[in-house]
Amino acid sequence: MIRFSAVAKRYPGGLEALRGVTAQVAEGEMVAVTGRSGAGKSTLLKLAAGIERATSGSVVVHGQNVGALGETALAVLRRRIGFVFQDHKLLFDRNAFENVALPLRVAGFARDEAGRRVRAALDKVGLLAREKANPVALSGGEQQRLCIARAIVNRPSILIADEPTGNLDADYAAAIVDLFASFNQVGVTVMMSTHDEASLGRLGCRRIALDAGRVAGEAQPA
């Protein structure tokens, strides 16, 4: 499903975010990427989602080498991947419904079908009653759930989340982790980064540990 082979990522200025990373995530698996701040977790997830491209090595998703895809093919692949950003990237001048609808409008969905999908996604994350609320009126946990609704509205086969519980209290974090587990239980491949030990214990999934841009080890669920 997702395969990294000798992947390196170097940013302008010489920063090496990833160095020779080889790892994979199987179809239908849930995997947690762990490591301290600066270990390369966010970069690895963005490469898997096709948001960034590797400097060297290969990233293969759904059998396609992401680095070799043109912009049109890459856009098609991205529609099969839901991404939850660490900093939300919500549009604060649009309400919850409009935030979730945006990917469908970009993809050209008809208004009626888009509406059904948006409301189904909001219902899944428990925000259907808040569809007209602007993000500023939502709590931190609700904003995170809104991001998840936007990520799943295209019904992706892969869901990737960057530190989705990072700024939440324990109760909200547990609810978000359970939500990702529910997606995985119906066959969605889930790849998420976290440094929260409580969330890791609740997930009980395989871990890929990064340290200074390299794979430091892997651990199977207890």
Q: Are β-strands 158-162 and 81-84 bridged in parallel, bridged antiparallel, or unpaired?
A: parallel
Nearest to 35 by CA among 210, 214, 212: 210
What span, in angstroms and rounded, lies between the C-alpha atoms of 146 and 127? 7
SS3 state at 37? coil
pTM confidence score: 0.93
d(CA 190, CA 216): 21
Domain segments of the chain as ranges = 27-54+80-219
pLDDT in tens, 72-126: 999 999 999 999 998 888 999 999 999 999 999 988 999 999 999 999 999 999 9
Cα separation, 22 vs 213, in Å, equals 11
pLDDT digits (tens, 9 = 90+) for 29-70: 999 999 998 999 999 999 999 999 999 999 999 999 999 999
* Beta-ladder partners of 58: 5
CB 57 within 8 A of CB 21: yes
- Render pLDDT for 118-153 as a digit per residue (tens, 0 to 9): 999 999 999 999 999 999 999 988 999 999 999 999
Task: Give the residue among 89, 116, 83 at the shortest CA–CA distance from 191.
Answer: 83
- φ, ψ of residue 190 in degrees (nearest 5): -120, 130
**Using CA atoms, how far apart are residues 48 and 95, in angstroms rounded to an integer?**
29
126: amino acid identity, one letter: G
Q: 27-54+80-219: which CATH topology?
A: Rossmann fold (3.40.50)
Q: Which residue has the tokens 């990427």?
A: 33
DSSP state of 114: H
